[in-house]
Each structure stands twice: as structure tokens, then as C-alpha cells.
Amino acid sequence: MERGNLLQPYMKNYQIFDCPSDPANDQARETDDVTNMGLPPGNTPQQKLFYLAVKDDFGYNWQYLCPLVVDSSCPQIGDGQVCDKPVQIANIAAPAHMILGVDSLWDRHPDGSVVVAGGNDAVDPPCRIEADGSDSFPYQGNVEGFFWYGAWVPSMPLAWNVFGGAWPWHGDIVNTAFVDGHAKPFRVTQLTAGCNVQDYWGGVIYDDTQYLWSGRK
């Protein structure tokens, strides 16, 4: 969840992950729409840097690349044992066919307008279950649960996560980066290729050769 902070010693730049079409400035990312999400206000230098990283516009494909799980092998955090479970790139069958991240947003007003508070550093994919009923997520070990944003909810067009947190800042275009390093502009509908997208991962992945999230091609 703190990818931006982990990369900061190498990148020396938080803004490189910010979409120029997102009107949110650093102050908005540090403060706006924070406390009502159950997060502490950004009133310390460390907290402000955390929000600059978390509220960037590059939403990581976290469920397939580095899910945040509750697992008995994880360290104790609060009331549970929680940790990231990064996937080794050697285990990705098709890096050039797997989304690394996409344009994203932080939240929306109830009327559907965009909250000018930045993006989100992680997004949910549109589908999870394969046509044969198997789980496409890479969870291993004693996983008791995982964190998510509610998946995609196409029946709720005004929801912030109607596209799982991905957001078309450029009309209907979402800038999309892939694990092998290349990037392409995609329409939102192209992000669901090979997937019968329904609310809360209710659909299925019917064609892994088209589905761009799991890297299984």
C-alpha cells in the first residue's frame, strides 16, 4: 500500500505518479477526504508523505501482484495478522499481457462528481473466478481473508468504485501500464476483455487469452 514511499528513494519524485488531468494538488492529496475514510489527518510530515503515495493516480493491480491478506504466517498488526503477499515475476506466465496499474481516483461525491482529492494507489480487477469455478487470485498459505475495494460495481454508475477504482481521466480513456514495462491507452470497456463483469466479482473469466489482469495467457 505504500508503493510510492518504497520507490521514493529511487524516484525522488511523488508527482510522477500523478495524472495531469487530475486537478488535485499536493495539499488536496495530503488533507482532503481523509478523516471521513477513517484515516488520521495529514498533520505530520510523515503522514503527508504517506498520503502523497497512497493518493497518487496510478492504481496498482494489487489483487494479482501483491494482495494484502490476513494470514496466520503474517506479523501481528492490531487485532489480526496482516501482510502483503508479493508475487514473484517468475510466476507470471505473460508479463506483457498483465496489467501493472491504471489511472485511478480516490473518491466521488454521491452525485457522481469526482472528489478533487487525488487517486488511489491500488485498484480491484473486474473479475476473479474462472469459468471452471477455480479462483484466479494467487493466494497461498493460510489466508483467512484479504482487503479489497468492493470490486467493480457496474450497476452503480455513480459509485467511486464503479470500475474498481480505475478512472478514465481522459474522456473514456484509462492509461494502462503492463508488467513488462510497456503502456497503452485503453477504453474502460477494454479493461474487461475476456471477463463477464458483474457486481462484486459475480461474473467469470471466460477467456484468459483476452483477460489482462491475471497474466495467465
- The per-residue pLDDT for 10 is 47
The Cα–Cα gap between 180 and 139 comes to 22
pLDDT of residue 112: 84
Give the tens place of pLDDT for each residue, 88-101.
Answer: 988 999 999 999 99
Whether 43 has a pLDDT exceeding 70, the answer reads: no
Q: What is the pLDDT of residues 148-171, one digit of tens each?
A: 999 999 999 999 999 999 999 998
Domain limits of the chain?
3-205
Would you say residue 102 has pLDDT above 80? yes
At 39 the pLDDT is 60
> What are the CA-CA distances from residue 202 to residues 103, 129, 136, 189 (Å)?
23, 8, 13, 17
The b-or-e profile of 150-163 (16+ CB within 10 A means b, else e) is ebbbeeeeebbbbb
pLDDT at 80: 75
Most confident region among 9-18, 104-113, 189-198 by mean pLDDT: 189-198
Reported confidence tier of residue 24, pLDDT bands at 50, 70, 90? confident
C-alpha to C-alpha distance for 18 and 95, rounded to whole angstroms:
24
- Residue 1: per-residue pLDDT: 46
For residues 113-128, give the mean pLDDT.
Answer: 89
* pLDDT for the residue 115: 73
- Residue 6 — pLDDT band, cuts 50, 70, 90? low
Distances, alpha carbon 132 to alpha carbons 135, 136, 164, 208, in Å: 9, 10, 23, 12
**Of 202, 204, 168, which Cα lies nearest the Cα of 186?**
168
Strands (E), 74-194: 76-77, 80-84, 99-103, 122-123, 129-130, 143-146, 173-178, 183-187
